[in-house]
Amino acid sequence: MDEHYLLTCPVCKKQFSDTYLLTCKTGCFSLLRADYSAKSLTLRNLPGIFKYRDWLPVMGSLPTCSSPICFKSSMLAAHLGLKNLWIGFSGYWPLRDAYVNTGSFKEFEAYPTVVRLRERTSGVILVSSAGNTGRAFAQVSAETDQPVIIVVPVSARERIWTTLPAKNLLLITVDGDYTDAITLGNALCSIPGIYSEGGAKNVARRDGMGTVMLEGAVTIGKMPDWYIQGVGSGTGGIAAWEASIRLIKDGRFGSDLPRLLLIQNEPFIPMVRAWQAGRREIIPDLDMPDAKGAISQVYSDVLTNRAPPYAIPGGVYDALSETGGLMDSVSSEAAREAGALFHRLEGIDPDPAAAVCVAGFIKAVHNQVIDPKATILLSITGGGYEIINQDMRIVHPPDIKVENVLNEQCTNSIKRQVTTWVSQYV
């Protein structure tokens, strides 16, 4: 294989060179996977997460300090009586050399996605997001001038900010919920020159998130026994599993796949229900009854994906099956308490989604699901917002408002405006 990587379909096993493919060319229902020519990981002298370029679907890099860090816990570990607790931290914490400006691991998806798109095609990236993903892409747009369109429900408007002005960002706010934002986003993707960021289907997003496992294994010196994360789509879990498969082939980091423990926030827990019932399919009536009502009650709404890549081959169900994984859920109250405990013991404010993770982790320790001697990688997927607010001047971009995504006149008018905006770039 001359190329840095090829894309492989886990269903038909065909390989493709990358033309910013998001799905198998023969039409399989599957998540394509990047197959890298480097079987052994060499850390490159490149900025931020690009030090892991061997296992990212990009040739170039971007000037960034954004990268996960990993350290051994002393306070939380002592509190829980654990010997080998490691924290993978994806946020802003200068004291520990963590510089994720927008505070969440969604940046590890955004940087490689922008580079991959630029290398494989050219155009504008469109993201429909309720928060952290949109902010991460906005930030990368601000830093790189990459044109990006972000569609959010109006309630998420405040969460889209950057630490420097984003000149090539188009922010569209929809009077509706996240599902309405996705509906409009999908309609806009039919405009030539606009590319969907692709969610879990984008290998750049998954392998970018997989750097948390890589950073953990490199720091610990081997793969952990457990990888623990709060999930909405579960993409971070899939990414950790894929990174582990590569680490096993490398040979220096152990031969057993880390077990995944993935946590959701009650009462919106579709994957927990499906997994605990032993089903590959999520059945909406059983697994997410009254989705709207349930979503309104969670502590972390970034964990409320209604269409996670769970059943799809190469997705969450397969990741859990292959790793001896578990799913569990915690209440919003338990998450809030766990977040405060983590803040007090470790000295940094976790993102609410990371607080959910800590609560699920504590529950598993108390229930003796986790052996106190096990090597654990606890993925704190976001945090450090208090320091971000002190250290940085945050900029809120202007937006275009869409009153009614179901009204054809209204969507046609926004389509015309977006087409005009896109024509400056493609």
The single residue among 57, 134, 198, 232 that binds ligand PLP, judged by CB under 6 A, is 232
Residue 307 interacts, among Zn ion, ligand PLP, none and using kind-specific CB cut-offs from 5 to 8 Å, with none
Displacement of CA 123 from its chain's centroid (Å)? 22
Provide, rounded to whole angstroms, the least separation between the CB of residue 297 and ligand PLP: 18
CB 171 within 8 A of CB 417: no
For residues 364-386, one letter each, b for 16 or more C-beta atoms within 10 angstroms of the residue's C-beta and e for the rest, the string is bbeeeebeeebbbbbbbbbbbbe
The type of residue at 291 is A
Q: Which is nearer to ligand PLP, 85 or 356 (CB)?
A: 356
28 lies in the binding site for Zn ion (CB under 5 A): yes
Residue 173 interacts, among ligand PLP, Zn ion, none and using kind-specific CB cut-offs from 5 to 8 Å, with none
151 lies in the binding site for ligand PLP (CB under 6 A): no
What's the rounded Cα separation, in Å, for the pair 67 and 46? 11
What's the rounded Cα separation, in Å, for the pair 174 and 152? 6
Provide, rounded to whole angstroms, the least separation between the CB of residue 132 and ligand PLP: 3
The single residue among 73, 104, 129, 144 that binds ligand PLP, judged by CB under 6 A, is 104
Please give the DSSP secondary-structure letter assigned to residue 383. Answer: B
Q: Which of 14, 13, 18 is nearest to 3 (CA)?
A: 18
128 lies in the binding site for ligand PLP (CB under 6 A): no
> Restricting to residues 366-405, which ones interact with ligand PLP according to CB under 6 A?
381-382
CB 76 within 8 A of CB 345: yes
12 lies in the binding site for Zn ion (CB under 5 A): yes
Q: Which two tokens stand for residue 372?
A: 């106190």
Provide, rounded to whole angstroms, the least separation between the CB of residue 22 and Zn ion: 13
Question: DSSP characters for 63-83?
Answer: ------EEEE-SHHHHHHT-S
> Restricting to residues 163-182, which ones interact with ligand PLP according to CB under 6 A?
none
The piece of 18-26, 115-123, 175-183, 328-336 that touches Zn ion (CB under 5 A) is 18-26
Q: How many residues bind Zn ion (CB under 5 A)?
A: 6
CB 290 within 8 A of CB 239: no
The piece of 25-33, 93-101, 145-153, 350-358 that touches ligand PLP (CB under 6 A) is 350-358
Q: Which of 87, 57, 56 is nearest to 71 (CA)?
A: 87
Q: Which is nearer to ligand PLP, 191 or 380 (CB)?
A: 380
152 lies in the binding site for ligand PLP (CB under 6 A): no
What's the rounded Cα separation, in Å, for the pair 51 and 29? 32
The single residue among 8, 132, 139, 146 that binds ligand PLP, judged by CB under 6 A, is 132
The single residue among 152, 338, 351, 375 that binds ligand PLP, judged by CB under 6 A, is 351
User: Taken in order 113, 115, 120, 121, is the CA torsion positive or negative?
Assistant: positive
Provide, rounded to whole angstroms, the least separation between the CB of residue 136 and ligand PLP: 8
The piece of 11-19, 183-191, 229-237, 414-422 that touches ligand PLP (CB under 6 A) is 229-237
The single residue among 110, 231, 338, 405 that binds ligand PLP, judged by CB under 6 A, is 231
What's the rounded Cα separation, in Å, for the pair 239 and 212? 9
What's the rounded Cα separation, in Å, for the pair 192 and 178? 24
Q: Which is nearer to ligand PLP, 381 or 422 (CB)?
A: 381
Q: Which is nearer to ligand PLP, 123 or 383 (CB)?
A: 383
Q: Which is nearer to ligand PLP, 194 or 231 (CB)?
A: 231
User: x/- string (CB under 6 A) for ligand PLP, residues 265-304?
Assistant: -------------------------------------xx-
Question: DSSP characters for 386-426?
Answer: HHHHHH---BPPPEEEES-TT-HHHHHHHHHHHHHHHTTT-
Q: Which is nearer to ligand PLP, 103 or 267 (CB)?
A: 103
Residue 132 interacts, among Zn ion, ligand PLP, none and using kind-specific CB cut-offs from 5 to 8 Å, with ligand PLP
The single residue among 8, 235, 332, 375 that binds ligand PLP, judged by CB under 6 A, is 235
What's the rounded Cα separation, in Å, for the pair 73 and 277? 34
What's the rounded Cα separation, in Å, for the pair 280 and 284? 13
The single residue among 24, 170, 228, 272 that binds Zn ion, judged by CB under 5 A, is 24
What's the rounded Cα separation, in Å, for the pair 377 and 104? 17
Residue ranges in contact with ligand PLP by CB under 6 A: 104, 106, 132, 230-237, 302-303, 351, 353-354, 381-382
Residue ranges in contact with Zn ion by CB under 5 A: 9, 11-12, 24, 26, 28
